[in-house]
Amino acid sequence: MSGFENDSQLTAKVLSNEAQSVDWVVPSEVPIGFVYGGHHHAVMMATPADLEDFAIGFSLAEGILHHASEMEKIQSKPGKHGIELHLQIPQNRMEKLQMHGQRRAHRGRAGCGICGVSTASDAMRPLPRLDIHTPAPTVKAIHAAIENMPSQQVMRARNHTVHGAAWADMDGNLAFVREDIGRHNALDKMIGVWARNPTTDGFALLSSRCTYELVQKCALAGIGTLVCLAAPTSTAIETARKANMRLCIYDRHTRQILLFNEPELG
């Protein structure tokens, strides 16, 4: 246990009726510090759940590690104001991290994917060109995954607030869902689970809009197909093209699945 709750129940007054109040569940937002080999690297504001997944997924999505198996040890240390994740990684990865230690020298907000990055080149980092072998998921499978997702978002059912990131198989069945107040954090947590047993037979599903850093995280982790529930930015599309990633968007108004980039199959 981290010592911090995922959410809390509070009472709020109804503004138009001073005599009336309602109970409301609000999600927690806690500083989560990433400490590699005793060196403080980043502090992200996040929901204090699935922290082992968060540690692995963040490390992969940031390019600190290349494989989940490289994470040697994870130790969670709750403090008065937040939680520190003390992470042990191979010496060669540690040396590379120390060369770029200032890239994440600031606190990252829950809604921010690149807080602490000091230069434009660090933000728009080089990406691998993915070798895609699987065809696109069917429209039926994507619709099934979207319809299944709310029932598996346990936190969102309570607080109506957090984002979700899921991995779906080619039939639209959800293998797992991770949630967080920050959409980038939710994706990191999902990557942390997926990376333990990675498979290309499926797709990532995000409950949020699609911006380039989400595409970037998937590319660095090796995820070849990304489906988002809101429109992409032009940079997100260009990033998907450079990474040879399949990028789909669900149009809530028409219920159509829009394909913005179709990769070259290996």
Q: What is the pLDDT of residue 23?
A: 84
Domains and their CATH numbers in the chain = 30-123 (3.10.20.10), 139-261 (3.40.140.10)
- 7: CB partners within 8 A, 6+ apart: 25, 26, 27, 28, 155, 158, 159
- 119: CB partners within 8 A, 6+ apart: none
Catalytic residues: 112
Q: What is the pLDDT of residue 2?
A: 58
pLDDT band with cut points at 50, 70 and 90 for residue 1: very low
Distances (CA, A) of 185 to 32, 42, 146: 11, 13, 20
Is the pLDDT confidence value at 260 over 60?
yes
What tokens does 23 get? 């109970």
- According to the 3-state scheme, what is the secondary structure of 32-52? EEEEECCEEEEEEEECCCCHH
Give the whole-angstrom CA distance, residue 245 versus residue 61.
15
Distances (CA, A) of 182 to 94, 101, 140, 186, 206: 27, 23, 28, 6, 11
Q: What's the whole-model pTM score?
A: 0.89
Find the length of the chain.
266
CB 249 within 8 A of CB 260: yes
- 3-state class of 264 per DSSP? coil
Closest CA to 58 of 191, 200, 148, 232: 191
CB atoms under 10 Å from CB of 206, counted, come to: 23
Q: What is the pLDDT of residue 105?
A: 47
pLDDT band with cut points at 50, 70 and 90 for residue 3: low
CB 32 within 8 A of CB 82: yes
Is the pLDDT confidence value at 240 over 70?
yes
Give the whole-angstrom CA distance, residue 130 versus residue 132.
6
Specify the DSSP class assigned to residue 134: S
- The predicted-structure confidence for 190-236, as pLDDT tens digits, reads as follows 999 999 999 989 999 999 989 999 999 999 999 999 999 999 999 99
- The predicted-structure confidence for 31-66, as pLDDT tens digits, reads as follows 999 999 999 999 999 999 999 999 999 999 999 999
What tokens does 232 get? 């992409």
C-alpha gyration radius of the chain: 19
- The predicted-structure confidence for 102-159, as pLDDT tens digits, reads as follows 455 445 555 555 455 444 445 556 799 999 999 999 999 999 999 999 999 999 989 8
- According to the 3-state scheme, what is the secondary structure of 202-225? CEEEECCCECHHHHHHHHHHCCCE
H-type alpha helices, 107-223: 120-123, 139-152, 154-159, 183-194, 212-221
